[in-house]
Structure 1
Amino acid sequence: MAVTPSPTHWNAEDLWLDIAPKLPGFTVEVLPEIDSTNTELMRRARAGRAEPIVLVAESQTAGRGRQGKTWLNQPGDCLMYSLGMALNPVDWSGLSLVVGLSIAESLQRAPGTHTPRIGVKWPNDLWLHDGRKLGGTLIETANLPAHTHAPCFGAGQGTPRFVIIGTGINVRPPHTPAQALHTPAACLQDVDARWNAPQALAQLLPRLVDDVLLFAQQGFAPFQDRFAARDVLRGQHVHLSDGSSGEAAGVLPDGTLQLRTDAGLRSVISGDVSVRPIHMALPPAAV
């Protein structure tokens, strides 16, 4: 286990004890500052270092989000980490949904039939049900150099790749002025004032590993019903970056978004559009 000293207590040893039996060779590494946890794991993978790892940063100087967006932070404001492992899933489709779903479920298990306050905006953003963004995930993969010796997980028949799942979650209210944000921001302390970054990581990481391993074996289909319970777009009128619009109608067993339009159902594949709700009119949510 490789643990880099940090001013914040991250319970790295407990994390390692929870996860190492599931991911042979797993390590936990915490850094006070780095350019980007995703970028660092990509550098390592291309150099043949493909053992499973979670890399945590208290501060990132060049954090990245989807579609090239930057992720700004101050130490303690955000939980920022990247989970990396060699993966060969039966199908890559839907991985981003699984990641968002797993985190939402871990950070808030709403009782009974109450609407969960933390939901997932397709394909992977974490939103509160009032339309504010809590966090997001950037998933990248790298080809593994020949003769790389690292455990690989999944039941696929293709070529294994090193997958890097980088997530940023607001823990405290962001310093960025609200008017400068395209989507209003939320934080974990809006849900529970006791949250801090190490607690959130300890809560979500073991389940995330379990869900990624299940996905690698069976694809997205086992998660479809769970995702429906956290889908903040379902039933909402949304518009796409190409100017078209329609009503979000859930996802298929491979995670493809269904959009109900005047011309009928349209399938939307992750990566080819930007989906934003025109309005959010959701029922009151249980905290």
Structure 2
Amino acid sequence: MTRWPEGVGREILAEIDSTNAEALRRGRAGRPDPAWILSRNQTAGRGRRGRVWQQDPGNFAASLFMLVEGGPTAAAQRSFVAALALFDALVAVTGRPELFALKWPNDVLLTGGKLAGILLESEMAPRGGVALAVGIGVNLRSAPEARALGPGATRPVSLGESLGGAPTPEEFLDLLAPAFAHWDARLRGEGFAPLRAAWLARAARIGEPIVARLPGRELSGLFETIDADGALVLAAAEGRITLPAADVFFLPV
């Protein structure tokens, strides 16, 4: 096992409503120390924009609670920390970096299918700063049925079904937590630039056409890059458009 990060808690629960909800409850209680919260079952797991996150037995659902200084942008950049940490943990499990890619803003792909998702939720902490929940779900053993997802969604896949085996959630957490600590230390010490470069080197579909959906409108164009803060840069017919948030859909290839 890679060494567990110093000063970070580790809680393993049989069941809870939502690991993100529990992380935010820690923040409201004024608890300052970071902690990973893993649950073997969630009764009210959630994804982006209020979607339900289905957790089948043996799959991974955990959240990191942490206090963040620097405001909303610094908090949002922890999504890139989480994505890079997931990539590293998955490579540590499989030894196959060529199988994985990162999809803006919050997914990890395995051979083009959605393997993992990231959900950030935050509140102002009682004593200042941002109380941040970094929620992570990984289809270790099985994947939900594609018909349970919205139209145009990336097909779900699992590590076990695709590669013939997967670690336990606890084993995966022991790889993920040190990887997150590594990338978070780089963000705090060096700024976002090295994470941006690392993320782009692992990104899916750069230079290819995508559809970006926002409330009330839809934009099409080429996925050009991400900017210095992590926003999507779309080369559209009307020019370059920077999108801090959107749902991205790939076109068939």
TM-score (norm 1): 0.77
Q: Which residue number in structure 2 is paired with residue 161 of structure 1? A: 130
Which runs of 5 or more residues in structure 1 are unaligned? 1-13, 147-158, 282-287
Residue 202 (structure 1) aligns with: 174
SS at match of 2:52: coil
Conserved? CA contact 2:4–2:174, under 8 Å: no
Alpha-carbon separation, structure 2, partners of 1:226 and 1:129 = 19
Q: Aligned residue for 1:80?
A: 61
Aligned to 1:10: none
State the distance in 2 between where 1:102 and 1:28 align: 17
Residue in 1 that maps onto 2:86: 103
Q: How far apart, CA to CA, are the structure 2 residues paired with 1:116 and 1:173?
A: 21
Among 153, 162, 180, the alignment partner of 2:148 is: 180
Residue equivalent to 2:27: 45
User: Who is 1:18 aligned against?
Assistant: 4
Counting matched residue pairs gives 243
The answer as to whether partners of 1:98 and 1:220 remain within 8 angstroms in 2 is no
For 2:226 and 2:97, the matched residues in 1 are separated by 18
- Structure with a larger share of its residues in helix: 2
Query: 8 Å contact 2:38–2:63 — kept in the other structure?
Result: yes
Instruction: Please tell me whether the aligned partners of residues 36 and 63 of structure 1 are also in contact (alpha carbons under 8 angstroms).
Output: yes
Q: 1:115 offset after TM fit, Å?
A: 7.1
Q: CA deviation at 1:119?
A: 1.1
TM-score after normalising by structure 2: 0.87
The structure whose Rg is larger is 1
- 1:180-259 pair list within 5 angstroms: 180-182=148-150, 183=153, 184-190=155-161, 192-196=163-167, 197-241=169-213, 242-259=217-234
The equivalent of 2:243 in structure 1 is: 268
Query: CA offsets per residue over residues 178-226 of structure 1, 9 Å max, x none?
Result: 3333331111224543312222222221011121232233332111221
Instruction: Point out where structure 2 has 5 or more consecutive residues left out of the alignment.
Output: none
Q: What is the aligned partner in structure 2 of residue 62 from structure 1?
A: 44
Instruction: Indicate if the aligned counterparts of 1:127 and 1:135 stay in contact, CA closer than 8 A.
Output: yes
- Confirm or deny: 8 A CA contact 1:171 1:189 kept in the other structure: yes
Determine the C-alpha separation between the residues in 2 that align with 1:28 and 1:190.
28
Give distance in 2, aligned partners of 1:216 and 1:235: 30
Classify 1:87/1:192 alpha carbon distance in 2 versus 1 (closer, same or farther; 3 Å): same
* Distance 1:57-1:115 versus aligned 2 partners, 3 A rule: closer
Counterpart of 1:135 in 2: which secondary structure?
Answer: strand
* Partner residue, 2:124: 143
In 2, the alpha carbon distance for the partners of 1:177 and 1:190 equals: 13
Q: Distance in 1 between matches of 2:247 and 2:141?
A: 27
AA partner of residue 230 (structure 2): G
Cα deviation 1:143-192 (Å, max 9, x = unaligned): 2223xxxxxxxxxxxx5222211100001122x43333333111122454
